[in-house]
Structure 1
Amino acid sequence: MSSSSFVVLLGLVLASGASVAQSEADGSSPGVRRIELAPDAPSSAHEIAISAHLSTTFLFDSDLKRDAVELEGRDHFSLVDVGQTTLRLVPSARLNAGERLHLVVRFRDGSAPVSASFLLRAHPAKADPLIEVYRGIRTIETYQQEIREVRAELMRCQGEVARLVAEQNAPGGLSGLVSSGALDEHGVTGRLVTKDVTPAAGDALAATSVKSYRSATGVAVEVRLKLQRGAPPWVAKGATLRGKTGAELKVLRLWQQQPISTGEFVPVVVEADASGAAQGAFSLKLWEEDGPRTITLGNVRFP
């Protein structure tokens, strides 16, 4: 696909919003989660997102019984570090997307509640980085911080709604790109990076062609994927573009022409915000809905 045809493709996607798969709301890392344990409430497992090679840390306001931590599937973790009031988990590559593992911690003083239960749900690419667990009374500072985070998230959502409304009202094709500010006098530059990217071992799909693009406001990757023979159809549900430092680009759109079936070469386009530099090598990861089949491509560079 030439750069000019990709411009038209992005314009049509911006104008119509039609696609087989859409990106998740935000590609950025989630913030701090706060969980309160009521002494008289029935015990229930709080669901926590974990992902292979990503760190998840629990911070408790009470001392733990370090030798009484129960972690299902401990051999699926490359690091299990239990401290006096902390628990850090780093899953290994043995963890498969969609897996659910139970975690139980017990508190040293024996006061109610005596324990806390969590359901660790394996996500293909995202994890809750920090969970604060309050067994007693929270301080006013933590509530104030939570209010600030909620306000920031509200402003982000309002901006996202405004962007979507503006896209729906914009014309299609090149006119839409010009009116949105995505196209300037430099146009859209593209690069064929198929030979440069590094696929991960054991991927469920193969990338037969990889192209990267940059416009005035964003970047995009077009990947043509081929499914293993005899495998059921595959539809991309989410995507991340992560730099070497671990920072992620904000994924704006995930577009797939049709479900991928055996023998077909179907393009998948990931568009991300490039308000930052978006320089250097990135790792692109695509995954399906609640399924273990993913594809990871390293060393993706943009023009």
Structure 2
Amino acid sequence: MHASSSAILLGLWLVAGASTAQGATASGEGARRIELEPNVSGASVEVAVSPGLSTVLLFDSELVLEGTEFEGRDFFSNVDSGRTTMRLVPSARVSPGEKFRVAVRFRDGAAPVGASFLLVVHPARADALVEVYRNKRTVESYQEETREARAETLRCQDENARIKSEHGAPGGLAGLLAVGSVDVGGLAGRIVTKSVTSGPKNALAADKIHTYRSTNRVALEIWLTAQRSEAPWVASGAALRSSTGIEVKVLRVWQVAPVTLGEPRRVVVEAEAPADASRGSYSLKLWEDAGPRTVTLSGVTFP
């Protein structure tokens, strides 16, 4: 299929959607807040970590450094503990789904006397900043929570408005115009198969890679092939990052059929168009649901 024809067909799909479309994983942007009550039980709080990505635990109380317990310390390339902080960076030795327990004790002896965290390895995402609060909450903390709730409400309202706008739009080219996804410049496409680098640990081979850009969206179209006979592979999430480490919001991941040994299968990733979509390169990581097999592509460029 010629690039121009492929661009038109993909553009129509972006509006029409598909019954097999899967929602992308939330980006996890901003700080995560954890409240510890005086009567908290011994249950561990789950915190997402990922190889090579930094996770910082920020406490509102001073820690007893010698009282920290860390299971699997050797699987982390960086563990930096301070009076009120702990920075964690897993090494490449960890695998998706692995869990490591970390327990800390607070110096003042007030309840709760400590906290326990379960570090769960994710193939591409980590909780960048986790703020841990205990006991009394100040007026400022309530105000901050109110601001965060208001911001989340506005974000949900914007997302609902976008979804309603797309679902209420006509199909075909008229639909693209109705939701503002194309203008007189049209939908641009580019074949980037030869310029993209595949990760050395990729579970699947990328045979063809096309990228697209409209007025407010970017998309990648990838044909994946299994390299050995294993269980069928289905993409459940994607992360798209710029060369400077900024993560682009992924809107959806769609796959025509599971990847099995033999025939290439198409996976489409749609994301918000960053301001510099036409400049620089990006990296893409795809992963399956609750599985260790991932696909990493670097050097991705958009028209």
Letter in 1 for 2:300: V
Correspondence for 2:302: 302
Rounded Cα–Cα distance in structure 1 between residues aligned with 2:164 and 2:76: 43
Match of 2:41 in 1: 42
Identify the residue that residue 250 of structure 1 maps to in structure 2: 249
Correspondences of 1:58-207 after superposition (within 5 Å):
58-207=57-206
Whole-Å separation in 2 of the counterparts to 1:131 and 1:144:
18
Aligned counterpart, 1:229:
228
State the TM-score, normalizing by the size of structure 2: 0.94
Whole-angstrom CA distance in 1 between matches of 2:14 and 2:161: 17
Match of 2:19 in 1: 18
Is contact 2:206-2:224 (8 Å) kept? yes
| 1:6 positional shift | 3.2
Indicate conservation of the 8 Å contact 1:170/1:180, yes or no.
Answer: yes
Q: How many residues of Structure 1 are paired with residues of Structure 2 in the alignment? A: 301
CA apart distance, 1:14: 2.2
**DSSP-derived class of the 1:63 partner:** coil
Structure 2 unaligned runs (5+)?
A: none
Q: Which residue of 1 aligns with 2:208?
A: 209
One-letter amino acid of the counterpart of residue 92, structure 1: S
Q: Secondary structure at the match of 1:232?
A: coil
CA RMSD of the aligned region, Å?
1.6
Q: Distance in 2 between matches of 1:261 and 1:135?
A: 49
Q: Match of 1:52, as an amino acid?
A: P
The secondary structure found in structure 1 opposite 2:248 is coil
Equivalent residue number for residue 283 of structure 1: 283
Q: Deviations over 1:104-153 (max 9, x none)?
A: 11122333222101111111111111111112312222221221111111
Matched to 1:166, the amino acid is: S
Q: TM-score, normalised by structure 1?
A: 0.94
The Cα of 1:78 is off from its aligned counterpart by 1.0
Contact persistence 2:248–2:274 (CA under 8 A) = no
Letter in 1 for 2:36: L
Unaligned runs of 5+ in 1: none
1:39-90 residue CA offsets vs partner (Å, 9 max, x unmatched): 2232211111111111111111211121221122112211100001110101
Letter in 1 for 2:65: R
* Residue pair 2:12, 2:173 contacting (<8 A) in 1 also: yes
- Contact 2:103–2:114, Cα closer than 8 Å, also in 1: yes
**Aligned-pair CA distance for 1:16:** 3.7
Q: Return the alpha-carbon distance in structure 2 between the equivalents of residues 191 and 9 of structure 1.
A: 12
For 1:145, what is the secondary structure of its paired residue?
helix
Cα distance in 1 for residues equivalent to 2:275 and 2:153: 22
User: What one-letter code is carried by the residue in structure 1 that aligns with 2:171?
Assistant: G
For 1:112 and 1:280, locate their aligned partners in 2 and report how far apart those are by CA, in whole Å.
51
Describe the SS at the equivalent of 1:88. strand
Shift of 1:13: 4.4
Task: Name the CA distance, whole Å, in 1 between partners of 2:13 and 2:273.
Answer: 20
Would you say the 8 A contact 2:111–2:135 is kept in 1? no
Larger mean Cα displacement after TM superposition, 104-113 or 228-237: 104-113
Q: Give the 3 Å change call, closer, same or farther, for CA 281–275 of structure 1 in structure 2.
A: closer
Conserved? CA contact 2:21–2:254, under 8 Å = yes
Distance 1:246 1:9 in 2: 27
Partner of 1:6: 7
Where 1:295 maps in the other structure, the secondary structure is strand
User: 1:230 is matched by which residue type in structure 2?
Assistant: S
